[in-house]
Amino acid sequence: MLRPIVKHGEKVLQTPALPVTTFDDALHTLIDDMIQTMYAAPGIGLAAPQVGVPLQVCVIDLTVGKRGGEVITLVNPEFVEREGMQLEEEGCLSVPGFQATVPRAQRVVVKGLDRDGREVVVEGIGLLARALQHEIDHLNGRLFLDRLRGLQRDLIVRKIRKMRRAGRW
């Protein structure tokens, strides 16, 4: 089932998500819905707070579902390694229409659990490293806008406020 994606301004996007403790049907349904919603958007990553659920769950698929079996599901993820630096343009399904260059680590290693609670370790370099950092930021209540310099961030936030007042956000 597709779930609506919440946008910048919703409190759930600014609130740290809670760890998952129960690996039940409700969690599996949430994960399946998130994957479907990410592909439909389309996007390469989605975090549970973006569908209004304050849990530490995210999904990533750099192929947007074009190749089977490439989706990464992470529950309660945390960094175990972070190194190097990359500067690339980044966007977010919760901040549609805006992109900015965001500094990120070039390589990360993330430890987390899969949908059944089994431990998984994911190494990401380049785009995958960026996606992992972007989604884990969501789970900590942060958007890519929060990683921009103040002036750049303020400019985008002002535009969003204007759009919201006009009923276009």
Q: Is 72 in the site for Zn ion (CB under 5 A)?
A: no
Q: How far is CA 136 from CA 16, 75, 78, 143, in A?
A: 10, 10, 8, 10
- Binding part of the chain for Zn ion, among 11-19, 92-100, 111-119, 122-130 by CB under 5 A, reads 92-100
User: What single-letter DSSP state applies at residue 94?
Assistant: T
User: Taking the complex as a whole, how short is the minimal distance between the CB of residue 25 and Zn ion, in angstroms?
Assistant: 26
Total residues interacting with Zn ion, rule: CB under 5 A: 1
Residue whose CB is less far from Zn ion, 23 or 122: 122
Q: Tell me which long-range contacts 68-75 makes (C-beta under 8 A, separation of at least 24).
A: 71/35, 72/122, 73/31, 73/35, 73/114, 73/115, 74/110, 74/112, 74/113, 74/114, 74/120, 74/122, 74/132, 74/135, 75/20, 75/23, 75/27, 75/112, 75/113, 75/114, 75/115, 75/117
- Binding part of the chain for Zn ion, among 85-93, 108-116, 121-129, 147-155 by CB under 5 A, reads 85-93
Residue whose CB is less far from Zn ion, 27 or 92: 92
Q: Is 92 in the site for Zn ion (CB under 5 A)?
A: yes
Q: Is 57 in the site for Zn ion (CB under 5 A)?
A: no
Burial grade of 106 (CB within 10 A; 0-12, 13-18, 19 or more): middle
- Binding part of the chain for Zn ion, among 2-10, 57-65, 86-94, 152-160 by CB under 5 A, reads 86-94
User: Taking the complex as a whole, how short is the minimal distance between the CB of residue 58 and Zn ion, in angstroms?
Assistant: 9
Give catalytic residue positions.
Answer: 135
User: Taking the complex as a whole, how short is the minimal distance between the CB of residue 56 and Zn ion, in angstroms?
Assistant: 15
Task: Give contact residues for Zn ion (rule: CB under 5 A).
Answer: 92
